[in-house]
Every structure is written in C-alpha cells, then in structure tokens.
Structure 1
Amino acid sequence: MTKNIFARAIAAALLGAVLAGPASADTKDYEFQLIRQEAKVGEAMLEVRLVDKRTSKPVPDAVIFAKRIDMAPDSMEEMTSKIEQVSTVEPGVYRFKAKLTMAGGWRLSLGAKVQGETGTVEGKLVLKAVK
C-alpha cells in the first residue's frame, strides 16, 4: 500500500511538471554586453549585444525602453549626455548614438523587454571615452 501511495505521488508530480510546461527564463538569464569598450569623444556610435546567458545566443527584437548615459564611473553621475537608439541589421545587436562630451569613464544604463518574458532586463555597462 505504501508503494502505491508513493507511485501516485510521483505520477502526480510528473503530471504537474508536464502541465506546467517548460520553465520560463528569468530576466537574470539575459545580459547586455558592450561590443567595444572604448569610444572617441564627440559623436559616438555605441553597440551593445543582448545575450541569453543560458545559450550564449543573441536576443533579437527586444524593446529598449530606457536608456541613459552618464559619467558615474568618474564620480560625476550628474554629467549626462544625449543618447538615441538607431537601427541595426545584426540580430541581437542594439546601436546607440551618443554625444560623449569629455574623455573618461561613462556608464550606459539600459532597460529592455524581451519577448515572452514578464520582467525587465536591466544593464549598466562601463566604457571609456578617449580623445
């Protein structure tokens, strides 16, 4: 009788797992990566790849809804600059045009929605502007 109860419990657990479907990813399963760590002072083109860390594959068609660039790495968080997203042809690569007004460390902060996920993917990337 104990074997029968145990077998039923296992069957119920397996059925529950099947009905629940595959486990969905967490927003922590994604990360932004800078393609180049340096950019020239002035009008700069910044490229960022969004990657699924579980597969190491790029994530296309994410919606970038928050973007900010500032000099927080050089203790000047209030020093911000204009940034705008521009089109790209490479899947999973997101391009931004930014005006880097001075040499030093810059932090690019991004927020994105990935299709099929409920949370927000956030990233804070540090690059260096050089003359």
Structure 2
Amino acid sequence: MTFLAMKTTAAAVLIAIASTGLSSKARAGIEDYEFQLVQPEIKQGSAAEIAVRLVDRRSGKSVPDAVIFAQRVDMAPDGMEMMAAPIEALPSTEAGVYRFKAQIPMAGGWRLSLAAKVQGETGTLENKLVFKAIP
C-alpha cells in the first residue's frame, strides 16, 4: 500500500468516526425535557386546577403522550413539606399540557413534584415546580 493510499484511508476513517460522534450527540436525552407551569399562580380551593406543559428544551415545542406516574403537591417552599395535599390527574385538553386537580386549602408557596416517562426516551424525568396559591 502506498503512502497516498494510506493517507486517503486514514482520512476516510477519521471522517467516519467524526460523523458517528456528531450524530450520537444530536439525539435527545431525558435531560432535554422539562415541565413548566402554565400559570405561576393558582387560586386556592378544594378543586384547584394546576396545568403544566412538557417542553423539549431543544426546540421549545410541547411534548404529548408522556406517562406521568407520580405526582405530589406540598408546601415545601413555605417550610411545611409534610403538608401535602390530595392531587389527581385530569384529562388533557391540549397536546403536551397535563392538568391536575388538587386540594389547596391555604394561600402560600406550594411545590408540584412530577415523575414521568417520555415516549422514545430512556430514564425518568423528574421535576419540582413551585407555584403560589392565592385566595
């Protein structure tokens, strides 16, 4: 094999390795997603509605069809983490928006904790969102 042939082969191998590395970095990971509150203030009450949007951080687009398997709402922002309230999922009316009904008995700082599986991704997405309950 001549020096020129070896040089051409080496260049082809380097290009192949570089393109493989670039394509693997372009794939999404669970860290590329986040839940965001639709409204930072929620009216307190026995049937308070909390809406969150699941967003792909890379594109800013909403992500539908996630499976939320854990949700909790408590007053951790006000130093009362043990004060948790009942919460249940509601049907979605908009793709990528997930709604919940919670009993929010008092005004103040509240935290919504969510755990979900995003379709096509490995791992679990976990977010803690802080909102304010108002009278």
TM-score, L = length of structure 1: 0.89
Deviations 1:40-92 (CA, angstroms, capped at 9, x unpaired): 11120000000000000000000000100000000000000000000012000
In structure 1, the residue matched to 2:61 is 57
Q: Supply the distance in 1 between the matched residues of 2:31 and 2:12 (Cα, whole angstroms).
A: 35
* Match for residue 106 of structure 1 among 103, 110, 133: 110
Give the number of the structure whose alpha-carbon radius of gyration is greater: 2
Structure 1 position 36 matched with structure 2 position 34: no
With 75-84 and 5-14 compared, the bigger mean Cα shift is at 5-14
| Local SS of the residue matching 2:17 | helix
How far 1:101 moved relative to its partner?
1.3
Q: Supply the distance in 1 between the matched residues of 2:34 and 2:24 (Cα, whole angstroms).
A: 24
In structure 1, the residue matched to 2:85 is 81
Q: Structure 1: 5+ residue runs without aligned partners?
A: none
Q: Supply the distance in 2 between the matched residues of 1:35 and 1:22 (Cα, whole angstroms).
A: 30
Q: Supply the distance in 2 between the matched residues of 1:21 and 1:30 (Cα, whole angstroms).
A: 17
Identity %: 57
| Local SS of the residue matching 1:58 | coil
Structure 1 position 3 matched with structure 2 position 7: yes
How far 1:120 moved relative to its partner?
0.8
How far 1:23 moved relative to its partner?
4.1
**Equivalent residues, number:** 129
- Name the amino acid aligned to 1:25: A
Q: Supply the distance in 1 between the matched residues of 2:43 and 2:24 (Cα, whole angstroms).
A: 48
Q: Give the CA RMSD over aligned residues.
A: 2.0
TM-score, L = length of structure 2: 0.87
| Local SS of the residue matching 2:68 | strand
* Match for residue 25 of structure 1 among 24, 28, 31: 28
Q: Structure 2: 5+ residue runs without aligned partners?
A: none
